[in-house]
Structure 1
């Protein structure tokens, strides 16, 4: 994408053990499923979707010094991601077991080397990408105590360099565990916060999506509440609230759909698009993601 502003994506890279279930999970028994190994991780997925659409992107992450990590980095490089990924000798590449139904997924995670992300990794990546104009942070980096300093440093370093910033809220249960007040303090004054319906309920209470998004703008400049098949809502501090409907497509696998939505939205918004156009771009990429099995674009 000629002339597009480079995005620095910061966060996790894992192997997904993806099981697409044939029906409801039979707890304590057997459930048939299609099972595959594929690349995953919120930041890595968003970076892959950005690169697949021709947008310049650098991924900052840590993998183990193992064959799995080498494979994960190689597949990201193959779709055009610039990988500022450090190999860690004393922790394995992260792994996530994903149990996916038609419109929902449950994850069991081993964070592995993702916990070793350090402030120095961010400094090196920013120094190596002078054309960067935006930093996008996976909140898993903040939610894990081992990588929290790196996540907070990423946001501070980006602001010091004049980059705009965004954070994807990542996952409802870890948000509950750290507490909404602490998390919102960590992301205070970022330019854009993205949260799905469950995450928004943790951060802004059990209100409607418009009220949730507007409440979050007391902390961040813009907030987007992602509602899956019901579309998305964008609120801006001191500005209008915009709603966009979702595209109707056959859902094969919802894994990584929010990460793809973020990629489409950020590509448009960092290029100067307004809220409505950015939401439409996010919806387009998110719809493509749910029509595929796995969290990454096919290449």
Structure 2
């Protein structure tokens, strides 16, 4: 466990990723050779690991079980330099897991077993609401990376809760299926949203063909700021005052899981380092390109 105070809180899923990768195209029902890896994962943990690699000091607010998987995962987080002081260890819940199959064409299928995070609910937020990180009377004023694996009700509570009123909220939906859970932040006009084009379309209940169009629509619907990615096509960072579009560097895609998390973390770190919006966007896209091409 780090002895330094955290400079960002990562709230959301912390789990084990089981990722199967095949080097040839697959279809449903196929049985092909490949590689299977068990690695620390979950949106909040992926973001935290990337931030730590970029020189930041992330603290995790999430839940793992007191089972063997949870003990091993908490130990690995500590080894990676993440602050687990405020990580909830639940005796009544198993450690969450995620399983995915990836091919050269992208993600074939995935199952997220994040029921423990949903069941833990507001328990994971107690350090921000009851201290020591903050209270409604003395809100936490630092950066928070938040993912949409929390329940819709809990996300809506965070969007309006006074304990989060001064935080620099950076929010990701976790997956297209959970994108609409972020609607409360549109209504509240809070936070910076990091979504892909599909997720933006779901949030706005409208079809878009470009990231720039989608980002502007999110701002019009109430987002304080929206960053929309679209694979290898141009990405857009929009606010009510201005927008900036940047094209990712071309790469050969060898993995997709965690690409959005890498983009978000690299963008947060770049802005922490004082880079302006265009340069922060370029650095985030470069980091995501390195990730999907198989680099570190």
Normalization by structure 2: what TM-score? 0.85
Among 227, 230, 234, which residue is 1:227 paired with?
230
Q: Summarize the Cα distance change of 1:24–1:229 in structure 2 as closer, same or farther, 3 Å threshold.
A: same
Partner deviation per Cα, 1:96-128 (whole Å, 9 max, x = no partner): 111112352231121132123333432315734
Indicate the residue corresponding to 1:198 in structure 2. 198
1:19 Cα deviation after fit: 0.6
Whether contact under 8 Å (2:50, 2:262) holds in the other structure is yes
Q: Summarize the Cα distance change of 1:257–1:274 in structure 2 as closer, same or farther, 3 Å threshold.
A: same
Normalization by structure 1: what TM-score? 0.84
In 1, distance between residues paired with 2:288 and 2:63? 26
Indicate the residue corresponding to 1:269 in structure 2. 271
1:217 Cα deviation after fit: 0.8
Q: 1:92-171 to 2 correspondence within 5 Å?
A: 92-102=94-104, 104-105=106-107, 106-125=109-128, 127-129=131-133, 133-143=142-152, 148-149=153-154, 151-155=155-159, 156-160=161-165, 162-171=166-175
Indicate the residue corresponding to 1:236 in structure 2. 239
1:35 Cα deviation after fit: 0.9
**Higher normalized contact order (CA 8 Å, seq sep 6+, divided by chain length):** 1
1:196 Cα deviation after fit: 0.8
* SS of alignment partner, residue 140 of structure 1: coil
In 2, distance between residues paired with 1:190 and 1:132? 14
Indicate the residue corresponding to 2:137 in structure 1. none
In 1, distance between residues paired with 2:125 and 2:72? 22
Q: 1:249-288 to 2 correspondence within 5 Å?
A: 249-288=251-290
Whether contact under 8 Å (2:185, 2:223) holds in the other structure is no
- Unaligned runs of 5+ residues in structure 2 are 135-139
- Unaligned runs of 5+ residues in structure 1 are none
RMSD: 2.5
